[in-house]
Amino acid sequence: MKNAIISAKGLCKSFAHNGGQVHILTGLDLDIYEGDFTVIMGASGSGKSTMLYALSGMDRATGGEVLYHGENIVKMREKKLAALRRTDFGFIFQQMHLVSNLSLFENITVPGYLNRTRSAADTDQRAEQLMEQMGIAKIRTQLPSQCSGGEQQRCAIARAVINEPKLLFADEPTGALNKKNTTEVLDLLTELNRSGQSILMVTHDARAACRASRIIYIEDGKVIGELTLPPYTVQEEKSRETQIGAWLAAMKW
Ligand SMILES: Nc1ncnc2c1ncn2[C@@H]1O[C@H](COP(=O)(O)OP(=O)(O)O)[C@@H](O)[C@H]1O
Ligand SMILES: [Mg+2]
């Protein structure tokens, strides 16, 4: 029996638009489980990013609940929510959003220094380990602009996990990468998941979805299907791709 790490109950999100309201999430119910590599798929504009931001408290839902450790983060005070995002959640995006005038090492360590639960020396040590794991230790002093997209995304992943988040959120993390860099980034995410990191990733790339232990398909802000898979292995990648492809076709993807 898996434990839910985060649960949406009747989640709603509307935006003010052209003097009216557009309703993107209209009562989403969803549990995300500890230890899973959960992938969200769905057509462009189906509300994937909106859902990810509402679940992670990056953007506030307009109705319903997001339960994290029994607490509804939709109603949480901003200061407490910001602290929670910093300590318990990690984020990666299609655009890496690295700080341009900081080195890779600094980009990774700064969120660690801001989190007072560990010493600066511990943060530095963890950053070194992560840079080794991500294959960017040799370029630690370079600025983001001096690095390839793949190197920047690997740095962004290290930054996202510096505080050992309970849940790593990713919105199209391979969307701006070429095939080789995509594989490298997916391998790192797979490795993190194998060592226990819970991941919730939005993607429109079936190859990226291949790494999932669970795929959720959404349409108009609602879950219309889901697929549970055994842990990913390279050996089974082809048959897995075929299985996911058939399932996606059934979802009219
Ligand atoms: N800030 C906003 N204001 C108005 N409409 C928005 C806003 N953000 C997203 N939307 C709309 O919500 C819908 C879902 O967007 P999004 O969640 O980004 O979709 P996806 O990530 O699945 O492509 C789209 O129709 C988009 O135009
Ligand atoms: Mg999106």
pLDDT in tens, 233-243: 999 999 999 99
Burial class of 134 by CB neighbour count within 10 A (0 to 12, 13 to 18, 19+): buried
Distance 218 CA to ligand 1 centre (A): 13
Distance 221 CA to ligand 1 centre (A): 10
Distance 49 CA to ligand 2 centre (A): 4
Q: What is the pLDDT of residues 194-234, one digit of tens each?
A: 999 999 999 999 999 999 999 999 999 999 999 999 999 99
Q: Is 1 or 97 the better-scoring residue by pLDDT?
A: 97
Percentage of the chain modeled with pLDDT above 70: 100
Predicted confidence at residue 137, as pLDDT, reads: 97
CB atoms within 10 A of CB 95: 14
> What mean pLDDT do residues 108-117 have?
91
> What mean pLDDT do residues 67-86 have?
95
Average pLDDT for the chain: 95
Predicted confidence at residue 116, as pLDDT, reads: 81
Our answer on whether the CB atom of 21 is closer than 6 Å to any ligand 1 atom is no
Pocket test for ligand 1, best of 21, 49, 52, 224 (most atoms within 8 A of CB): 49
Q: Whose CA is nearest to atom 18 of ligand 1?
A: 49
For 183-203, give one letter per residue: b (16+ CB within 10 A) or e.
ebbbebbbebbeeebbbbbbb
> What mean pLDDT do residues 105-115 have?
95
Distance 49 CA to ligand 1 centre (A): 7
Report how far residue 47's alpha carbon sits from residue 33's, in angstroms, rounded to the nearest whole number: 20
Predicted confidence at residue 248, as pLDDT, reads: 96
Residue with tokens 């995410």: 189
Question: Would you say residue 185 has pLDDT above 90?
Answer: yes
CATH architecture of the domain 36-46+87-250 equals 3-Layer(aba) Sandwich (3.40)
Predicted confidence at residue 48, as pLDDT, reads: 96
Distance 45 CA to ligand 1 centre (A): 6
Our answer on whether the CB atom of 48 is closer than 6 Å to any ligand 1 atom is yes
Predicted confidence at residue 1, as pLDDT, reads: 73
SS percent in the chain: helix, strand, coil, step 5 = 40, 25, 30
Q: What is the pLDDT of residues 133-173, one digit of tens each?
A: 999 999 999 999 999 999 999 999 999 999 999 999 999 99
Our answer on whether the CB atom of 17 is closer than 6 Å to any ligand 1 atom is yes
- The two most distant CA atoms of the chain are separated, in Å, by 53
Q: What is the pLDDT confidence band of residue 179, given thresholds at 50, 70 and 90?
A: very high
| Contact in structure between 13 and 26 (CB atoms under 8 Å) | no
Ligand nearest to the backbone CA of 51? 1
Predicted confidence at residue 2, as pLDDT, reads: 86
Q: What is the pTM of this model?
A: 0.96
Our answer on whether the CB atom of 13 is closer than 6 Å to any ligand 1 atom is no
